[in-house]
Structure formats: C-alpha cells, structure tokens
Amino acid sequence: MADYAQQTVSDCGKTLRDMLGRFGPDLASDEKRFKGVALDFIRDLPLVNLLILALSADVPQELQAPVGSTPKPLVIGRIIGRLQRDHNLNESAARLAVLAWAQALGILAPGEAAAFFRERSEDATVPEVLQQSVNKTEARTLSVSATKIEATFKNGVLTVNDMRYELALIPDGEFQMGSDSSAAFSDEKPVHTVHIAKSFWLGKTEVPQGLWQAVTGSNPSYFKKGDDYPVEHVSWDDCQAFITKLNQMLGSNYFRLPTEGEWEYACRAGTTGDRYGDIDAIAWYGSNSGSTTHPVGQKQANAWGLYDTLGNVYEYCQDWYGSYSSGYQTDPIGPGAGSLHVIRGGSWLLGAKDVRAAFRIGLSPGGRNGFIGFRLARTN
C-alpha cells in the first residue's frame, strides 16, 4: 500500500476526531447531521460517502461496544469483514472507513491505524480504493451531492444554497422596556430598565419565504408572492423546528428566536417613543398595506439597520407571555412556563395604535395566521 494511502487514513481519522470535538460525540451516531457538515471538512465526495456508509452501518457504535478480552485487531477485523460483506465493498475501502472511525474515536492511535492499513490492505492507491467502492455500491451509496444543503454563516451573512439572509450585530446596552404613553395597554407597564449584557445578531429583515423553503423544502405562507416576501402562517412550534433544522445544517446551536427584551431593545435602536420614525415611512400596516404582506426591506430601516420590525408581519419571541415587573433586569427571559408565546411588532392588518415598539400580545404555540412570521436571532 502506498504511503499516500496510509496518510489518508491518518488525515481522515484526525479530521473526524476534530469534527467530533467541535460538534460533540453524538455526531458519530447522527447520520443526517454528519451528512450536513462533512463536506465542509472533507472535500473528497467519494470519501465522504464512504464514511457516511460506515456511519449508517453502525460502525462507530460497534467500535465502541464492550469486547471483553477479545484482541483489538480481531474486533476491528470482524467489523471490516461485516462492512465489506454487507455493503459489497472491496477490502481496502472497508478497511479505510473502519480505521478512520477507529482513530477518530480514540480506539486506535494515528500510527496504529496507518500501520493496520499498511499491513493488511490490498495493494491499491486510495483513489482506486474509493473509486472501486463507489463503483461497487452505486445503488447503495448515500449521495451527498444530491441531498446536501449548503449552509454557511460568515460575517453576518447566513447563506443556504443561493439564499442570503443578512443579520446585524446588536450592541449590548440598557433601555427602558414598556410604555406609559397614551396609546399603551396595561400589559406594557410598568416601564422598567433592562440590561442586555451581551451583543447578539438579529436578522435585518423578517425571514423571507425563500429562506424558509431553502431550509425546509416547503412554503406554508398564505401570501405566496415571491422569495422576498415574509414567510407567514407559521406557528411558534414551526419556527422552532425550522431553527433546529438550520442549526443541524450548520453543525451548531447558535440560531434561535430573540427574547422579548432583545426584540424591543433592537426595535427601538436607542429611541424612546412609540416608534423609531414616521409610521408610513417605516411600516406596512392597516392604512397602507392594501391588506397584504410586502417584500421585506422596502421601508426605512432603524438606526441599527433593521427593517420591518414594525408592521408587515408580527414576529415571534422566545418568551412565554406574562406580566412585567418593575425591577431592574439583566437579560430577562420571561416566565418559566405559560400557555401563550409573545408576538411583537404588529402587522399589515392592524391600525397605528398597535404598531408600536412596546405593543405585545400572546399566541398559543401552535397558532398560525397570515399575519405572523418571525426574525432570526443568533448568539454572538
């Protein structure tokens, strides 16, 4: 076996080990999640397919199972034989997959894995091993190129395939939450000081239909007018499922809904009145919407570059809906339990009185309507 083959086993095992260190050991048992991140680390598609095939065949679990006094080489040899037999692989392909996972899981040291490969594999180069594997398992191979959704986040831009979604970095700070204006409702009181202790990312716009469709493959919206219209007719539970899937694609857990405190702080962007500008200039609401949603980002942004925080569609927050307290709070997260989740910002349906920075209402987690959407937040 060529030195290149031994080095590939060692490099692949090291890369897998780095991935497990970054995304957690559960990655070795989560085929869907592994498939979503593998090509970001291993650029060789046949090699990725081979590793996924081994994962789907429970090779990582079998490698970690108790074996008593059975010698390690014998155990590994049996797993290689099973993978080769059950999936019609040549010996070198099966050996490469199993030994890379064994090194990643700490069962074999890098030198042991390379030596094991050198001593026992057929005389073939790694490209030949992988091509033979692909040829033999053409009907069985898990095609990453056909199923993978490319998702990245860099410098405030989330990209899912060809859909871009920009986020603004919101600074930490303090503000007066709630309202005592003549338009305020009782649940907006008392006004109290809230400290947002850490900066965070928040979508510059509401989540558009194109992004939802890129992540989920579907579009639940009532107003299906284009990719740049806000997604609506989604429940709080639907949004959580969307965020979970997005985070899995990215191999992280950073995207989420904003808290109610974060939402109002970002909406106000340093202002203290009912709105951060003239209502007709900044919002689609009952008097100018024509009873429909509009493409995101058409009205004037606030001082922090956020569009449509008022009007167009309501936006879900993470918190349960509940009463305010009067004391100073740092990063409030709302009640510990409840039956309704907070929605904010008003919508295309409402009059001006309800399209204000402090206006709030609650909705059941499963509730859906054509005037309710959301905006993504991300922990910095």
**Structure confidence at residue 52 as a pLDDT band (50, 70, 90):** confident
Considering only CA atoms, which of 120, 121, 106 is closest in space to residue 21? 106
Instruction: Give the pLDDT mean for 123-144.
Output: 40
Same domain, 105 and 171: no
Is 146 a member of any domain? no
Buried b (16+ CB within 10 A) or exposed e, 204-239: bbbbbbbbbbbbbeeebbebeeebbbbbbbbbbebb
Same domain, 233 and 90: no
Coil, helix or strand at residue 223: coil
Amino acid at 120: R
Considering only CA atoms, which of 305, 308, 273, 304 is closest in space to residue 289? 308
Q: What is the pLDDT of residue 367?
A: 92
Same domain, 70 and 209: no
Instruction: Give the pLDDT mean for 210-220.
Output: 95
Asked if residue 100 has pLDDT above 90, the reply is no
Same domain, 133 and 206: no
Same domain, 358 and 256: yes
Instruction: Give the pLDDT mean for 198-226.
Output: 96
**Structure confidence at residue 212 as a pLDDT band (50, 70, 90):** very high
229-250 tens-digit pLDDT = 999 999 999 999 999 999 999 9
Strand order in the sheet with 329-330: 173-177, 192-196, 329-330
For tokens 């239909």, name the residue: 209
Same domain, 133 and 171: no
Asked if residue 146 has pLDDT above 60, the reply is no
Q: What is the pLDDT of residue 7?
A: 52
**Structure confidence at residue 133 as a pLDDT band (50, 70, 90):** very low
Is 331 a member of any domain? yes
Is 237 a member of any domain? yes
Residue ranges making up the domain that contains 41: 3-140
Lowest mean pLDDT among 17-31, 144-158, 197-211, 345-359: 144-158
Same domain, 333 and 214: yes
Is 145 a member of any domain? no
Q: Which residues contact 130 (CB under 8 A, 6 or more apart)?
A: 44, 46, 47, 50, 93, 96
**Structure confidence at residue 37 as a pLDDT band (50, 70, 90):** confident
Lowest mean pLDDT among 27-36, 175-184, 279-288, 331-340: 27-36
Q: Considering only residues 372 and 7, tell me which one the structure prediction assigns the higher pLDDT.
A: 372
Q: Are 54 and 98 in contact (CB under 8 A)?
A: yes
Same domain, 204 and 234: yes
- Which residue, 82, 111, 140, sits at the end of a domain? 140
- Which residue, 78, 105, 140, sits at the end of a domain? 140
- Which residue, 140, 167, 187, sits at the end of a domain? 140
Same domain, 119 and 205: no
Number of domains, the chain: 2
Asked if residue 126 has pLDDT above 60, the reply is no
Q: What is the pLDDT of residue 124?
A: 40
Distance CA 42, CA 349 (A): 49
**Structure confidence at residue 347 as a pLDDT band (50, 70, 90):** very high
Indicate which CATH number applies to the domain containing 276: 3.90.1580.10
Q: Considering only residues 319 and 18, tell me which one the structure prediction assigns the higher pLDDT.
A: 319
Considering only CA atoms, which of 210, 309, 321 is closest in space to residue 268? 309
Same domain, 165 and 225: yes
Same domain, 285 and 344: yes
Crossing angle of helices 3-23/110-120, nearest 10°? 140
Same domain, 336 and 200: yes
Amino acid at 374: F
Lowest mean pLDDT among 82-91, 189-198, 217-226, 291-300: 82-91
Share of the chain above pLDDT 70, in %: 87
